[in-house]
Amino acid sequence: MASNPRALPTATAVGAPAVVLSSAAVVPASASAALDELLQGNRRYATGRPRRGRAAAPHPFAVVLGCVDSEAAPELVFDQGLGDLLCIRTAGQVLDEAVLGSLQYGVQELRVPLVVVLGHEGCGAVAATLARLRTGAPVPGHLELLAAEIAPAALRTRALPGDWAEHTMRAQTVWARDAIRADSGFAGASVVAARFDAGSGLVSLLP
Ligand SMILES: [Zn+2]
């Protein structure tokens, strides 16, 4: 995967100091305000004008479950600073009890109003799962768990026309969103699914 040239724009490139401590002390208090802040931050990121550098304040206003693939780092993608997001990352956004417990910590203990499940195009875990299904070759070690968890989304979308990897990523991300929504441990939180495109830098919400 080619690196995203927008990921680390220099101060010269954006015509502003690379690190600016924000005066925005207001933490979004509702799910809709939190989502607005994330999407506004993503537009800054995608257009090469990230703010970042917000003074660290441990008041996360969104929980993000994203993938481990390095280009999909939520703090960068949403242009947020330390303390703004509670991030949990597993390959392919795979859920397990530790992940659910960590998500629930954010929602129940820290009273974070918004959970974002963030998939991305070109996902390595999805590619490995599709290779496993195509060839039947076993996946080594602990990776087998990831392939087994992503395989249902791949099998549900195998007959669709177009890009199987894209269909699988979307189905896996939406499935994780729906599983979290259906869990009583997350009652009261808004849970959305989204897709990050490393090429454009843009995040879009998934239906
Ligand atoms: Zn990935």
The CATH number of residue 77's host domain is: 3.40.1050.10
Mean pLDDT over the full length of the chain: 87
Q: How much distance in Å is there from the Cα of 125 to the middle of ligand 1?
A: 6
Percent of the chain topping pLDDT 70: 86
Band the pLDDT of 55: cuts 50, 70, 90.
low
Residue 37 belongs to some domain of the structure: yes
Beta strand pairing call for 190-196 and 203-205: antiparallel
Q: Domain tally for the chain?
A: 1
The answer as to whether 54 is a domain residue is yes
Which chain residues have CB less than 5 Å from ligand 1, an ion? 67, 69, 123
pLDDT at 5: 39
Q: What confidence tier does 29 reach under pLDDT thresholds 50, 70, 90?
A: confident
Q: How far is the CA of 169 from the centre of ligand 1 (A)?
A: 8
CA of 103 relative to ligand 1 center, distance in Å: 19
Asked whether residue 3 carries a pLDDT value surpassing 90, the answer given is: no
Q: Is residue 153 part of a domain?
A: no
Domain containing 185 equals 28-123+168-205
Query: Across residues 176-188, what is the average pLDDT?
Result: 95
- Tell me if 14 is assigned to some domain: no
Distance from residue 71's CA to the centre of ligand 1 (Å) = 9
Q: Which of 27-31, 72-76, 202-206 has the highest mean pLDDT?
A: 202-206
> Ligand 1 centroid vs 93 CA: distance in angstroms?
8
How many whole angstroms from 105 Cα to the centroid of ligand 1? 24
